[in-house]
Amino acid sequence: MTFTAPTTIGGSPGSDAEAPKVARAGDDVFILWHQFSDPLAAVLHTDVYIARSTNQGGTFQPRINLSNTPTGFSEEEDIAASRSGNQTRVYVVWIENTAGVTDVVFRRDKTNDGTYANAKKLNGTLGTNNARNPHVVASGDNVFVIWEADGAGANADVFFTRSTDSGDTFKDTQNLSNNTGESLDSRLVVLPNNRVLVTWRDMTLSPTDILYTRGP
């Protein structure tokens, strides 16, 4: 098998790019990563970047800074892409840490033209304390997001929210694990009929168990 020569994503770079993630829908390919600011910047921070290709990865558009938060750290990013009719939708989540306050942030592009809706905070009511490890999956206009945050007794719980309109609005957040032990390393996958399965490690009892739930 013959591969093309390695190529750098274009655009204004930062410094020290971290591990990328990649998603595809149809001929559209997206690469997502976070990157440190220039070492000479007044405040060291990280931002989340995305680059898109509309020709199966043959070429990529210049990178876009999705978080653009010069005073915080944007990381733990995840991405999902889906098709709705003849349109590609792309959905991105990450953790925004500003002065020790952690938010689950969401942005999306509904028409794959590089125009992203304003950032939306997903953990406004539940899952607000020490949020981390977000993941997103999608099927058509349906978007599913999970993350972990400190629940009762400062133990980690798994939180979930979903959208049925391509991320325009989100349903009320649910605590899926809701127990007194640590619930960690959560993952999710889309099932047929726009349902979702969520699984995680549960440390309520010893030894650690693997739990799962399906919905909505």
pLDDT digits (tens, 9 = 90+) for 12-40: 666 789 999 999 999 999 999 999 887 66
Whose CA is closest to 101, among 134, 120, 78, 124?
124
Count the Cβ atoms, other than its own, within 10 Å of residue 162.
21
pTM of the model: 0.94
C-alpha distances out from residue 115 to 89, 106, 138, 158, 182, Å: 11, 14, 19, 31, 38
Domains of the chain in start order, with CATH, are: 15-215 (2.120.10.10)
Residues 58-102: pLDDT tens digits?
A: 999 999 999 998 889 999 999 999 998 889 999 999 999 998 899
- Would you say residue 124 has pLDDT above 90? no
What beta strand segments (E) does 101-178 contain? 101-109, 120-121, 132-139, 142-150, 156-163, 174-175
